[in-house]
Structure 1
């Protein structure tokens, strides 16, 4: 659905809300609670992206706007394999060496536990086998020389200060394991997200690092934009979805498709607007 296909009264209401300065997410939420169909979001976001100034778009550091095919990240050069503007997605090659990937996996194995999801209503960390069926572990900031090096590399590449990023999380998916499509940001309209938002503000971007080649399956899927990223050892996937004005880009809905054969290992770094003060900081 496109904006111009919406009912005339709906178009007029949206234009008036924009002129009054209401943020994008508030407009979307009001339309949804008034009974409008979910697919209206696509049309509204298309319109808002066109008329809002740049500062209303997700935060994208200047170095990530570069059109160069390679970027320097602290101690090595990485390749740009794919870029997408709306939403902002970049796939980097050779972000981690094969040896670094193997070491991260080896260090994580003894610490694996069933993965949890944050309950947006209660704020608790729950194990939900209907949504997420992976095992995970994490590293404290600067836990060892490898973690220190990777954190500096992430900061240099993305522009996110190290203290604003959450500790590196490791996920392991066995055959059949998956993570159903979800958002990485915390929707403030759910009261249960207040505690995690207090730990450093909103998340604005994610970096997923692929630690092995998966035999079959295990891709990172973005169903709203038809994007499917196959896991390749050493690559890293960056995507942005928020800004400090409250813009939250629903098109970054993403998930980990089921692993069909072999297993999948990834490392994830979530970036916040303020200093992260939560667990393992």
Structure 2
């Protein structure tokens, strides 16, 4: 009797185990296709997210949380593929939707912006007219950007493109312009006076200072772009369309943030502001 009881116990346990194994039906070809597509989406998201962390370490905390979620979803899909969890269409739709939402987040362009000021002498507007100190500052900025971009490119997946956008704002002060200076500026800048010529001294001064500020913006922009092109010969790096802006006698900074207050003749107003934005986006 005891032996029979043992045999029946073993048979019962074996039957239960067999029933448990049969609880999760085999994955159909169509279901496997769905699982594979979701798994590919999750793997791509993880790769993109980890790439963003390398390119923008400041976003690590937020992105690492998303990577953790993605790994949890991968684990679930593997369990379904292994037959440990039944295939549930509703769960698959939910995971696919979440994966698409995360994809939209991790594939947003990564952007970083740098700014700098370059100061000019009175009546000067060419980069070649800059003082040695200002020239070194400008070269230092270009070296910094070049080194940063070179470092990013080493980590850049083939699916990504790095774009550099250079925007410059030229400014001029309100220094009085005598007739001799006016004639000299018009000749040197090869300025074409508008049909409705400035009728007053103030209008002429504003017109010439607007031209000077425009030349400052264009000169610096062209120099920066030329130097960046020469130093960044990578297939995945490109320079976007340039933008130069002439601010004329507009103050470079808000008056209430400057001490002492701006003057008409003021070297702090004779400058070009440079803004460079590096954007990493999908190719």
Q: Is the structural similarity TM-score above 0.5?
A: no
Give the TM-score of the pair, scaled to structure 1. 0.24
Higher relative contact order (CA 8 A, sep 6+): 2
Question: More helix by proportion, 1 or 2?
Answer: 2
